[in-house]
Amino acid sequence: MIFYIPQDTTALALGSEAVARALQAVGIEPVRNGSRGLFWLEPLLEVATDQGRIAFGPVAAQDIPSIIDALASDPASHVLYQGEVAEIPFLKSQQRLTYARAGLGDPVCLDNYKSLNGFKGLKKALQMTGQQIVDQVKDSGLRGRGGAAFPAGIKWQTVHDAGKDGCQKYIVCNADEGDSGTFADRLVMEADPYQLIEGMIIAGLAVGADQGYIYLRSEYPLAHKLLNIAIDRAVQANFLGENIQGCGKTFHLEVRLGAGAYICGEETSLLESLEGKRGMVRAKPPLPAIEGLFGMPTVVNNVLTLAAISTILAEGAAAYQNFGMGRSRGTLAIQLAGNIKCGGLIELAFGVTLREVVEDYGQGTYSGRPIRAIQVGGPLGAFLPESQWDTPMDYEAFAAIKAMIGHGGIVVFDDTADMAAQARFAMEFCVVESCGKCTPCRIGSVRGVEVIDRIVANENRDNNVILLHELCDTMEFGSLCAMGGMTPYPVRSALKHFPDDFLSRDAAGAAQGEN
């Protein structure tokens, strides 16, 4: 039997290292895999047996002796037995493309990656011209998974066509995952780092870039370690470096740690930071695809965007197009967090409703109380009331209700949440994280906090509500980037759908008395 215990950040935080030591104490050396995203079951111990790969969870170190005894007789008799891993309902009903390999083995073992169809996409790409690769990405319908949802193939085509022959070009991976409730990028890097590396190599071949950078969130030390190990091994195996696999092409890759600022998740601020400057938003145009890193044509894509590339090249654009709806093609990495019973990562085709995700997969709130609001898309996402939970997870469908899918993070709030406090937090978050370059964001967010405080205190309430809406208009239409431009989304949605929370306690009591 082979034992697997995850080594990713979430599993370690929940005690997987102690479980690994307990296995070693009884003479078992486990494979340190990555999590499959079933975080409420972590540490999830998997055991490959003659009857298939089974799971126990959540496991503590003291459970190891009884699990070993159960394995010798009847595994199903153990209280922590979860059955065959692939048949766990949370996992079985998913449509995994990007996370198909997550959790199957040692994430930095090159042989394991190759045995699971790793580098299949790269091998095909090596037989194609750059334009043919770009065409595959365009035909797939892949849109940027970082939040903006811009068609990846169009961005690649722009970089492909930019500059003169021999012009220096760059591939930059935005791994500065800072949205609340998001961890999909981290899970790719910790559970299947070669997939990201493969996608970046293919991107380089497509647009004629020979240098790539992964701009990694500084709070991800384990991802940093595993990425560097994977890159070193890829270099040794000639998947990176000079004359890749004898094709005559070159691609070098480095990891650079981020500056610890939320604004550096914005692509132009990221480029400024990568160049060694303070992370401040650049005015556009010129676009980074024309003048990006060090003023040269640059592809800037999110981790999930680049990770999807290997699947598209390996299976073909048409196969990827078969998933999703409308202009939202492929699969979406949905991250369930906040007050949720079964938190974790789900990969599903676009089109599933928010209600299905939260109720069927998340199984409701952790507190057991009714769900009151759901925020999708990070701290700049709108708060959605129950009347909007049947909206399909599709970029256009969410835009129609003034919401966004963003990076796919979902944070759930139960009926004890104060939505006025959440709206205030959105403005305060902007105060703290604004780069300060443009006035609507820098000053507007400060005034926003003050106005919300006056509304809640019932100071000239009606006029201050009007003022808050006008302030949100100024921020939305006058800010240089989405930091200030989208901060009004959570504020307006809270005002619209949860107006009673903005009443002072005295005013709220009077309103209840009138009703």
Tokens of 82: 């979860």
Level-2 CATH architecture, domain 419-514: Up-down Bundle (1.20)
Q: What is the pLDDT of residue 40?
A: 95
Residue range 240-287, pLDDT digits in tens: 999 999 989 999 999 999 988 889 989 999 999 999 999 999 988 899
Per DSSP, which regions of 14-66 are E strands?
A: 45-49, 52-56
DSSP of 65-92: HHHHHHHHS-GGGSTTEEEEGGG-HHHH
Angle, vertex CA 501, rays to CA 497 and CA 505, nearest 5: 155
Q: What is the pLDDT of residue 339?
A: 96
Q: Where in the chain is the domain with CATH 3.10.20.600?
A: 324-414
What is the chain's length? 515
Hey, how many other C-beta atoms are within 10 angstroms of the C-beta on 296?
A: 18
Residue range 327-359, pLDDT digits in tens: 899 999 999 999 999 999 999 999 999 999 999
Asked: is 2-92 a CATH 3.40.30.10 domain? The reply is yes
Q: What is the pLDDT of residue 149?
A: 86
What residues contact residue 181 under an 8 Å CB cut-off, 6+ apart? 335, 336, 337, 338, 375, 378, 409, 410, 411
Residue range 58-117, pLDDT digits in tens: 999 999 999 999 999 999 999 999 999 999 999 999 999 999 999 999 999 999 999 999
Q: What is the SS3 assignment for 474?
A: helix
DSSP of 305-334: HHHHHHHHHHH-HHHHHTSEETTEESEEEE
For the question of whether the overall pTM of this predicted structure is more than 0.85, the answer is: yes
Q: At what angle do helices 152-161 and 130-140 cross, to 10 degrees?
A: 160
Omega prior to 221 cis, within 30 of 0: no
Pure H helices in 176-220 = 184-191, 193-207
Q: What is the pLDDT of residue 515?
A: 46
Q: Where in the chain is the domain with CATH 3.40.50.11540?
A: 110-321
Hey, how many other C-beta atoms are within 10 angstroms of the C-beta on 114?
A: 14
- Number of Cα atoms under 13 Å in the Cβ half of residue 164: 0
Q: Where in the chain is the domain with CATH 3.40.30.10?
A: 2-92
Tens digits of pLDDT across the chain (515 residues): 999 999 999 999 999 999 999 999 999 999 999 999 999 999 999 999 988 999 999 999 999 999 999 999 999 999 999 999 999 999 999 999 999 999 999 999 999 999 999 999 999 999 999 999 999 999 999 998 987 889 999 999 999 999 777 799 999 999 999 888 899 999 999 999 999 999 999 999 999 999 999 999 999 999 999 999 999 999 999 999 999 999 899 999 999 999 888 899 899 999 999 999 999 999 888 999 999 999 999 999 999 999 999 999 999 999 999 998 888 999 999 999 999 999 999 999 999 999 999 999 999 999 999 999 999 988 899 999 999 999 999 999 999 998 999 899 999 999 999 999 999 999 999 999 888 899 999 999 999 999 999 999 999 999 999 999 999 999 999 999 888 888 999 999 999 999 999 986 554 444 444 44
The CATH number that domain 110-321 falls under is 3.40.50.11540
Asked: is 324-414 a CATH 3.10.20.600 domain? The reply is yes
